[in-house]
Structure 1
Amino acid sequence: MVTVVLNGIMIAATTHAIMLHEEGYKARAYIPREEVIGTLKRTTRTTHCPFKGDATYYDVIVSGETIADAAWSYDAPFDEMAAIEGHVAFDDRFDISVG
Structure 2
Amino acid sequence: MKARLNGVVIAEAEESDLVRIEGNWYWPPVSVADGVLSPSPTAYTCPWKGPARYHHVTAAGETLHDGAWAYPDLRPGAVERVGTDFAGYIAFDRSIEIS
TM-score bracket for the superposition, by shorter chain length: 0.7 to 0.9
- Of 19, 30, 35, the match for 1:34: 30
RMSD value, Cα: 1.4
Q: Evaluate the alpha carbon distance shift between residue 64 and residue 7 of structure 1 in structure 2; reply closer, same or farther with a 3 A threshold.
A: closer
Q: Which portions of structure 1, spanning 4 or more consecutive aligned residues, are displaced by more than 2 angstroms?
A: 79-82
- What is the alpha-carbon distance in structure 1 between the residues aligned to residue 76 and residue 12 of structure 2? 26
Percent sequence identity over aligned pairs: 33
For residues 42-53 of structure 1, the aligned pairs below 5 Å read 42-53=39-50
For residues 1-99 of structure 1, the aligned pairs below 5 Å read 2-15=1-14, 16-20=17-21, 22=22, 27-37=23-33, 39-82=36-79, 83-97=85-99
Corresponding position of 2:82: none
- What is the alpha-carbon distance in structure 1 between the residues aligned to residue 28 and residue 10 of structure 2? 12
Aligned-residue offset at 1:66: 1.6
> In proportion to residue count, which structure has more strand?
1
- What is the alpha-carbon distance in structure 2 between the residues aligned to residue 29 and residue 81 of structure 1? 16
Unaligned ranges ≥5, structure 1: none
Aligned-residue offset at 1:5: 1.1
Q: How many residues align?
A: 91
- What is the alpha-carbon distance in structure 2 between the residues aligned to residue 18 and residue 79 of structure 1? 18
Unaligned ranges ≥5, structure 2: 80-84
Could you tell me the TM-score, scaled by structure 1's length? Answer: 0.83
- What is the alpha-carbon distance in structure 2 between the residues aligned to residue 52 and residue 10 of structure 1? 27
What per-residue deviation string (whole Å, max 9, x for no partner) do you get for residues 6-59 of structure 1?
A: 221111111211111x3xxxx111001121015110111011111111111000
